[in-house]
Amino acid sequence: MPYGADSYELFLRLQGFPNPVLLESLGAARSMDVLAALPVSLLSCHNWDTRTDEILQPDPFTAIRQALQRFAPTQPCPEPLPFTGGAIGFLGYELNRFIHPGLHRETSGPDMLMGMYDVFIVVDHRQQRSLLVGTPQAAQARYDAIRRSLELIPETPTPLALTGALKHHTSPAEYRAAFERIQDYILNGDCYQVNLTQCFEAPYSGHPLALYRKLSQLQQADFSAYLGFESQQILSFSPERLVRRHGDSILAEPIKGTRRRDPDPLVDQALAQELTESAKDQAENLMIVDLLRNDLGRCAEPGSVTVSELFGLRSYPNVHHLVSQISARARPDFDATRILQHCFPGGSVTGAPKLRAMQIIRELEPHARQVYCGAIGYLGFDGNMDTNLPIRTLLCEQGQLRYWAGGGLVADSDPEAEFEESLTKVNFITNQLIKSIT
């Protein structure tokens, strides 16, 4: 099939099928996009109930592992593609209940939706080629249906507009009260850092895919995603990788440390320099690096965990970030699902130590995080995996949209500065939604 640089235009042609998904790399290091629809199976989890096509399963991680084994191709893919078919979807933050049952919180909708895709499209931007791929077991009818859809002229999705006020669930006073409680916990030695988040919500009409298009063009995020499941639509513009496995190599890239962008180049450069020289931001970043070294160390070959980059500056359209990289070599008895489970949820959105931080989050945050701070991405039949950490992410469900913003709090954090920083991270979403109010 012909190569097209804009995968969104190709993705529009899949909207007539159930459960269309798009994993899109839009950053400076643009490499590969994956598009799929019409999965052979759908995995779901809501609270304690995990199912594969309505058949009960013990837990979501086991369900994914067994589904990958069940639908695995009989022959390897002849092309050396990063994705060769498998599970694509999201795992919500509240799946932490399956790792630490005391953290259970009821949620309004699915905590996991993962489609098993054996027909899919890979858009390789480096080699400028697009491939429609079907595994040997894929039904010819599904492959042909998707192939025919690519020849059609797609419909333009209806623009999304808010039909009511955008509600901020946390007032400045409520944020300060939670902030002060966290400071007490830090002072008493319970924790070193806690990630505190806020939730925004509004009613809407129109198609979430139209909003995805606008925001993806604004944000150009490295780990963008649109998941068009029937019960929920997920729009993610995350700059952060949670964990990747390719062969026996594991990579995590936590973000900690933020400054706003400024239209004045000199001011913008000064803000970036301030971030790179900030002892406070470096200390926060290092806490999470140490936490992830511990997480990866449990599933890596002894002595293989290394910090390949520390406090690297990454600049995005609305913020500067500090990013570190931790790499490791996977133990033979740890497949991608087990590695993801050991890294879940990501340390940069919990705090340290992880379990105590999650207990404090459970106590102080009045709202479930749902897809936010969980994982979005793929786990392939070939054992490879790549997932983002869903920050800068919206959830559309039953005519309501939600998104979240947060940041890590440490002993020397300032409540007003932290409150404003969390709003800055999602101002590209907020500003676009306010413009759309009808």
SS (H, E, C) 398-421: CCEEEEEEEEEECCCCCHHHHHHH
- Does 254 score more than 90 pLDDT? yes
- Pairwise CA distance, residues 213 & 226, whole Å: 10
The candidate with the shortest Cα–Cα distance to 352, out of 414, 297, 281, 290, is: 290
Cα-based torsion angle of the residue sequence 425, 236, 93, 404 in order, rounded to the nearest 10 degrees: 30
- 322, containing H or E segment: strand 319-329
> What is the chain's mean pLDDT, rounded?
95
The candidate with the shortest Cα–Cα distance to 211, out of 228, 198, 192, is: 228
What average pLDDT does the segment 340-357 reach?
96
Are 170 and 198 spatial neighbours (Cβ–Cβ below 8 Å)?
yes
For this structure, is 253 an active site residue?
A: no
What average pLDDT does the segment 374-380 reach?
98
Sole residue written with tokens 């390719």: 246
Q: 30: exposed, middle or buried (C-beta count within 10 Å: 0-12, 13-18, 19+)?
A: middle
The residues near 43 (Cβ < 8 Å, ≥ 6 apart) are: 50, 51, 52, 57, 60, 63, 64, 67, 87, 89, 112, 113, 114, 115, 116
What average pLDDT does the segment 189-193 reach?
96
Confidence of residue 28 (pLDDT cuts 50, 70, 90): confident
- Does 5 score more than 80 pLDDT? yes
The token pair that represents 12 in the structure block: 């529009």
- Does 55 score more than 90 pLDDT? no
Sole residue written with tokens 């052979």: 40
SS3 78: coil
Confidence of residue 79 (pLDDT cuts 50, 70, 90): confident
The residues near 129 (Cβ < 8 Å, ≥ 6 apart) are: 3, 123
Instruction: Return the CA Rg of the chain.
Output: 21
> Helices in 60-171 by DSSP H: which ranges?
60-70, 140-149
What average pLDDT does the segment 255-272 reach?
96
pLDDT tens figures, 405-433: 999 999 999 999 999 999 999 999 999 99
Are 299 and 326 spatial neighbours (Cβ–Cβ below 8 Å)?
no
- Pairwise CA distance, residues 313 & 294, whole Å: 23
What average pLDDT does the segment 199-225 reach?
96
Sole residue written with tokens 């340390």: 347
> Residue 77 has what pLDDT?
81
The residues near 419 (Cβ < 8 Å, ≥ 6 apart) are: 172, 175, 176
**Proportion of the chain above pLDDT 70, given as a percent:** 100
CATH of domain 7-435: 3.60.120.10
What average pLDDT does the segment 68-87 reach?
90
Helix axes 336-343, 279-297, angle to 10 degrees: 140
Q: Considering the candidates 24, 240, 253, 418, report the single residue annotated as catalytic.
A: 240
- Does 71 score more than 90 pLDDT? yes
What average pLDDT does the segment 225-230 reach?
98
> Helices in 192-335 by DSSP H: which ranges?
208-219, 265-276, 279-297
For this structure, is 167 an active site residue?
A: no
- Does 358 score more than 90 pLDDT? yes
The residues near 123 (Cβ < 8 Å, ≥ 6 apart) are: 3, 4, 7, 10, 32, 33, 34, 35, 129, 130
Please report, for the chain, the start and end positions of each structural domain, with discontinuous segments joined by +.
7-435
> Residue 438 has what pLDDT?
59
What average pLDDT does the segment 214-229 reach?
95
Q: Considering the candidates 24, 94, 253, 256, report the single residue annotated as catalytic.
A: 256
- Does 116 score more than 90 pLDDT? yes
> Residue 178 has what pLDDT?
97
Q: Tell me how far CA of residue 304 lies from CA of 261, 275, 291, 301, in angstroms.
A: 36, 30, 16, 6
